[in-house]
Amino acid sequence: MPRKKQVNLPPEEEAIVLANVAERAERYDDMIEYMKDRVKAGKALSREEREMFAAAFKGAMSSRRLAVRVCKSIQSQEEEAEKEKNAALAAGYLSKVRLELQGLCIQVLELVEGTLLPKAENGEPIVFYKKMQADYYRYLAEFLENDGKKEAVASAIEVYADATTEAERHLMVTHPVRLGVALNYAVFQQVILKDTGAAIQTAREAYVAAVRNLEGMPEEAVRDAHPLLAVLLDNLRVWSPDDFS
């Protein structure tokens, strides 16, 4: 039998195939590198590729964010037990993980601000990247201190506002990306700014507007909106139990 001719994929397609493999293997650091190769290929990312880009960094961040919380807890426990040497070792490891987190955030922000946003079309692509940009400033604000924290908070406030304005201008109130902006902005207001009133207002406005407009929407739109609406409602029940019991 004649041999099948080997067909080489274009570099950007090869990067996406490998990123899919890395994601299924839960090798998120590798997935990041493949998605960076795809970004460097030049062409604007498709919707699916944008979601893969976000998933790569989210996967790499999640374990490290958990590690920061665990290290903080261990450090506190050792300090309470007056085991100074153990506490110092935990603090040193905490610094290592924080540096890894900071590096990931900087990578995302450089790619979004320097490459992806300038090529993005109005509407969903810009809102998606603005949301991601704001989210990673929020992550920086979670673990940075002093001036670094203040700068991250100020940047997150500015970009969440930009994302909200862009979403209101171009996306329906039931669009999952618009709902995602509202959800994450409200969490930022509650967790980082400690402004429960603002968080409730942001979440309530998004939730009520979407629910009012879901009737008569295609089944796919309802299905896409439902998980985000459920989280918004859960948060409102925690933040304002008297109104959303």
- Per residue, the 3-state secondary structure of 177-244, as one string, reads HHHHHHHHHHHHHHHCCCCHHHHHHHHHHHHHHHHHHHCCCCHHHHHHHHHHHHHHHHHHHHHCCCCC
- Asked whether residue 41 falls in the same domain as residue 64, the answer is yes
The per-residue pLDDT for range 48-66, each reduced to its tens digit, is: 999 999 999 999 999 898 9
Q: Containing domain of residue 22, as a range?
A: 10-113
- Asked whether residue 146 falls in the same domain as residue 238, the answer is yes
The per-residue pLDDT for range 24-57, each reduced to its tens digit, is: 999 999 999 999 999 998 789 999 999 999 999 9
Choose the weakest-confidence range: 7-21, 157-171, 224-238.
Answer: 7-21
Q: Taking residues 99-122, report their average pLDDT.
A: 94
- Asked whether residue 178 falls in the same domain as residue 76, the answer is no
Whichever domain contains 136, its CATH number is: 1.20.190.20
- Asked whether residue 124 falls in the same domain as residue 156, the answer is yes
Mean pLDDT of the chain: 93
- Asked whether residue 139 falls in the same domain as residue 205, the answer is yes
Distance in angstroms (rounded) separating the CA atoms of residues 213 and 233: 16
Contact 187, 232 (CB under 8 A): no
- Asked whether residue 139 falls in the same domain as residue 29, the answer is no
Count of alpha carbons within 13 angstroms of residue 36, beta-carbon side: 14
